[in-house]
Amino acid sequence: MTTRKLNSTDSHGNGEASLPCSRPDNGFSDSLTLFHSEKAVQELLQQTPIQHTDDHLIEFSEALRTVAKALKQAAEGKAFAQAEAAEWKRRFELERAQNQQLQHKGKSPGECNGDINTQQMENSTNQHMLRNEANEQSENCCTNGLCSHEILHDGETDSHAKAVQNKMMRKASFKLSWWCKGDISDQHKHDIVSFERGNITAAGRSSKQISLKWESSPQTVLVMTKPNSTSVQILCADMIRWMKEHKKLNIYVEPRVMGELLSESSYFNFVQTWKDEKEILSLHTKVDLVVTLGGDGTVLWAASMFKGPVPPIVSFSLGSLGFMTPFHSEQYRDCLDSILKGPISITLRHRMQCHVIRDAAKNEYETEEPILVLNEVTIDRGISSFLANLECYCDNSFVTRVQGDGLILSTTSGSTAYSLGAGGSMVHPQVPGILFTPICPHSLSFRPLILPEHVTIRVQVPFNSRSPAWASFDGKHRKQLAAGDALVCSMAPWPVPTACQIDSTSDFLRSIHDGLHWNLRKTQSVDGPRDL
């Protein structure tokens, strides 16, 4: 019985295999053959009884089903490919006929009407798709004598096709913009990135020194001095006399310095000063250059005089450390002469703008007058014996809860001040960022952070805090923060430009070497034991 069934199976298979197979030009006979083969397999499966057979016939029937499924998929795929090739051929013939018609009329393909342009762009897109397919499978690039890489390559139409193709393949354009939360924002964003043809690059200012060149000669100079110093008073009088007689400059001084000069001699009647806060607010419109005689504290005081734009500051070292005072007072004439001629290298020292928001305020922007800091703002526990308890947020995202003596929010110019003493890192003053440094935290894992300059930091005293906190701004203007009060800090729009003796980097490295004796140790002796 088994032999009879196998013979029956063979007869069916041979009967289907012996069908005549013609191959017309369109190639659809292959699909018909595959269809008949699949039909023969299905009939064979229906006629072959499965009952009372052994395992070999069951396996054979499963194999036939698999073959039938494969034949069906192959037939469908080939039919689809041949139909698509016929469509490409039809479009190619249409494009060639249109080009030939235009050539007979004496027109170039680029002067055709809107409808033909639309058709050409469509055909160019199809050409691009065919070229990609040809690159992936170059051995199958031809179908019935039609090669995909030959489409639209007939003489003069080639250049037009390339132009249309380049237009279709152009990279998408975009623009970059700063995003701020909320419609009201007093943050100032610097352009630290640029883009051209869709490629994002870092702006040049982030990697180059900044140079200042005068377009017109400076006319007015503001001189600010360290108080209670006889040597500074003598140097100030001598410098003002030299600038007036040799440089013909207009001189502004503080009211305190004005009194000191007039008490010394009536010669200084030409010196000008201000009378009230209103004149101070407009001082930046009159002063071209600021000269400070003192230490870093004098530079901080001079910067605090300007709530808006700050003129370039030339600071002479008459203090102790001098991270922001690169010039020596002994050579002030040569220094000022070189600076007034220009150009000069400057360091842009960013400032932070701080708002104290009381819990009783109706909204976040009903705040006290903003305070500008050049070094840092410090929030500490004051005289309380309890740990400071501060909740910190960065752009409304929770950062951490500070439990310790307090927190320092420092600019990069202030990285060598209080932040350094609390364990923070030294940072180049032109690096845009905000230093987040805890003061004696009650946690071994609380390490300092450096945040980008565009963020807004909010430090809030929670309602369950055991005691209030205290905030000080560059060591002054101490304010109490009760439970529910908050301090909001962001980068101020107006930096403080300070003149450099050499350049920004050289002055910074010199200051940490001379002022802090950074990495200073005796050189290892060469007379010690050596490896043999």
How many C-beta atoms lie closer than 10 Å to residue 201's C-beta?
9
DSSP conformational letter for 395: T
Alpha-carbon distance values, 216 to 139, 220, 288, 314, 341 (Å): 72, 12, 10, 18, 10
The answer to whether the beta carbons of residues 395 and 338 sit under 8 Å apart is no
10 Å CB burial of residue 342 (0-12, 13-18, 19+) is: middle
Q: Tell me the three state secondary structure of residue 290.
A: strand
How many helices, marked H, and strands, marked E, lie in the chain? 12, 23
- Helix (H) or strand (E) run with residue 277 in it: helix 277-281
Identify which of 353, 367, 462 has the alpha carbon closest to the alpha carbon of residue 409. 353
Please identify every residue annotated as catalytic: 296
- Helix (H) or strand (E) run with residue 303 in it: helix 296-304
The answer to whether the beta carbons of residues 413 and 324 sit under 8 Å apart is yes
What's the one-letter identity of residue 134?
A
The answer to whether the beta carbons of residues 16 and 42 sit under 8 Å apart is no
Q: What whole-number distance in Å separates Cα of residue 118 and Cα of residue 524?
A: 80
Three-state SS sequence of 28-82: CHHHHHHHHHHHHHHHHHHHCCCCCCCHHHHHHHHHHHHHHHHHHHHHHHHHHHH
Contacts of 7 (CB under 8 A, 6+ apart): none
The answer to whether the beta carbons of residues 212 and 342 sit under 8 Å apart is yes
Q: Tell me the three state secondary structure of residue 471.
A: strand
Q: Tell me the three state secondary structure of residue 22.
A: coil
Residue reference for tokens 């410098």: 239
Residue count of the chain: 532
- Compute the half-sphere exposure of residue 241: CA atoms within 13 Å on the CB side of its CA: 12
Kindly state the tokens that stand for 103.
């050539």
10 Å CB burial of residue 111 (0-12, 13-18, 19+) is: exposed
Q: Is the peptide bond before 429 cis (omega within 30 degrees of 0)?
A: no
Three-state SS sequence of 189-227: CCCCEEEECCEEEECHHHCCCEEECCCCCCCEEEEEECC
